Amino acid sequence: MAKNFTSRKEDYSQWYNEIVIKADLADYSAVRGSMVIKPYGYAIWEMMQAALDKKFKDTGHVNAYFPLFIPKSFFSKEAKHVEGFAKECAVVTHYRLKNDETGVVVDPDAKLEEELIVRPTSETIIWDTYKKWVQSWRDLPILVNQWANVVRWEMRTRLFLRTSEFLWQEGHTAHATRLEAEEEAKKMLGVYTDFAENFMAMPVLQGIKTENERFAGALETYCIEALMQDGKALQAGTSHFLGQNFAKAFDVKFLSKENKLEYVWATSWGVSTRLMGALIMTHSDDSGLVLPPKLAPFQVVIVPIYRKEEEKITVIEKGKQIKAELERVGIRVKLDDRDTQKPGFKFAEWEFKGVPLRIAIGPRDITNNTVELARRDTLTKSVTDMEGLREQVLDLLDEIQNNLFAKALDFRNTHTTVVNSWDEFKDVLENKGGFIMAHWDGTSETEEQIKAETKATIRSIPLDYDNSEEGVCVYSGKPSKGRVVFAKSY
């Protein structure tokens, strides 16, 4: 399966694309810039959804659904918001087709009175709705999440990482006080961090976006940034403190406990199918996809081995018994009993698809009461007794999960560099990559000049920035309040 497979060193971009296609995660569609998520890829996304959805509900949030189409006039109400998304919007102008001598055409008589924007994000339509829901402090907080698709017209697309249409969740909350809204935004940053590190086994840096990189219409954008194996950063999730901007734009007021009419305070937060790209690039290797056990659709695959027809029934029956035994403790198991493929092909296929643990069993194993275990993370094999197999598999899955995180953390640590001069900055960026911790003078001008010269951006301002060491900006030489995180990014 891994034959004719590009290595990371040869061409990292091609390696990534080949994993997505050959591991059956996604495919290109007839619509430019959009993708088809295949069943195996969607099963991973469903694992992510389930874990995140539980975390949202455990923190008091509920799910709802809002329209895909948003009146154009809604975007005019929040100036920064419309400016941020204007170039990415898909616009619906007509509501009917008709036939003529050339085929199907848009009916010119069916022009909409007001154009509709295909949802790039839902702040505007949701805050128009919240106006109906909020009258008094008793109606707050509103803690709503939506699982949906969004459209942001992209010129350069990459499967999962940047597509014109993608899947995501977007939380939108309304609060009576500034403090409560700020705490909500930080809380959800913590939820995303916990998910990234404990489910995806992907270490992330928490921080705040600069004004240039901030979400359009937000007062503060909190983010988690991950480091991929090519030394580039990937924004894995954002949580926005919106202040009262959207409440004022859509006139959402409430009567406070003090009997005063006040504007509501807001947050929004989201992660998308971009996390699939992050998962692939954080762990996968030159043998294909590598999945952390907590998010693998199949945590264990059992491959029966037999040569003679009379061996087949016995071996497959034993495989079914092992499968049932493992499933009793919640392990997700696939028994690959296809007659159409030989064991060697199955081994290669499931290795390429990143299944954490493979169990091989043949007639000799049944005689010896053993099985062969193969770990995907280390590509190592061992023979073990069938007795106590369930406990051993549970322990190994935990070990694989922890090992993947430790390996990714070690990579990030060895690719995080503190620099103190502009020459050092450029040298590290060019020859090593990764996260660069450097002093910055706090101005947008310097940020833009660094980006223009090197393509590196400020990925985040650390949460402890106000308490960090002062110094001198590596680019301008002006005073700096602290170090920020630079990197080239996706």
Residue type, 287: S
Higher per-residue confidence, 211 vs 32: 211
Q: How far apart are CA 407 and CA 384, in angstroms?
A: 26
Higher per-residue confidence, 330 vs 154: 330
Mean pLDDT value across the chain? 97
For the residues 223-246, what does the mean pLDDT come to? 98
Q: Please report, for the chain, how many H helices and E strands are present, in that order.
A: 14, 27
The topology (CATH level 3) of 416-487 is Translation Initiation Factor IF3 (3.30.110)
**Three-class SS of residue 436?**
strand
Q: What residues contact 399, with CB distance under 8 A and at least 6 apart?
A: none
pLDDT score for 4:
85
pLDDT score for 450:
98
pLDDT score for 316:
97
Higher per-residue confidence, 448 vs 466: 448
Q: Does domain 298-394 have CATH number 3.40.50.800?
A: yes
**pTM for the complete prediction?**
0.96
Residue 32 pLDDT class (50, 70, 90 cuts): confident
Neighbouring C-beta atoms of residue 103, cutoff 10 Å = 7
Pull the structure tokens for residue 191.
Answer: 């939820």
Percentage above 70 pLDDT, the chain: 99
Phi and psi based region of residue 485 (left: phi greater than 0; alpha: psi -120 to 50; beta: remaining): beta
Question: Contact at 8 Å (CB) between 154 and 180?
Answer: no
Residue 1 pLDDT class (50, 70, 90 cuts): low
pLDDT over 60 (residue 215): yes
For the residues 384-411, what does the mean pLDDT come to? 98
pLDDT over 80 (residue 356): yes
pLDDT score for 157:
87
For the residues 429-458, what does the mean pLDDT come to? 98
Residue 2 pLDDT class (50, 70, 90 cuts): low
| Across 11-15, 88-92, 153-157, 393-397, least confident range | 153-157
pLDDT score for 355:
98
The helix (H) or strand (E) run that includes residue 316 is helix 309-327
**Pairing of β 205-208 and β 165-175:** unpaired
pLDDT score for 468:
85
Following DSSP, what letter does each residue of 195-211 receive, concatenated? HHHHTS----EEEE--T
pLDDT score for 80:
87
**Considering only CA atoms, which of 277, 283, 276 is closest in space to residue 356?**
283
Pull the structure tokens for residue 440.
Answer: 């910055």
For the residues 467-480, what does the mean pLDDT come to? 95
Q: Kindly report, residue by residue over 58-81, the tens digit of the pLDDT.
A: 999 999 999 999 999 999 998 889
pLDDT over 70 (residue 231): yes
pLDDT score for 154:
86
Q: How far apart are CA 301 and CA 323, in angstroms?
A: 9
For the residues 388-412, what does the mean pLDDT come to? 98
Q: How far apart are CA 246 and CA 259, in angstroms?
A: 22
CATH number assigned to the domain covering 12-283: 3.30.930.10
Give the start-to-end residue ranges of the domains of the chain: 12-283, 298-394, 416-487
Phi first, then psi: give them for residue 417, nearest 5 degrees: -125, 130
Q: How far apart are CA 457 and CA 470, in angstroms?
A: 20
Q: How far apart are CA 465 and CA 472, in angstroms?
A: 14
Percentage above 90 pLDDT, the chain: 94
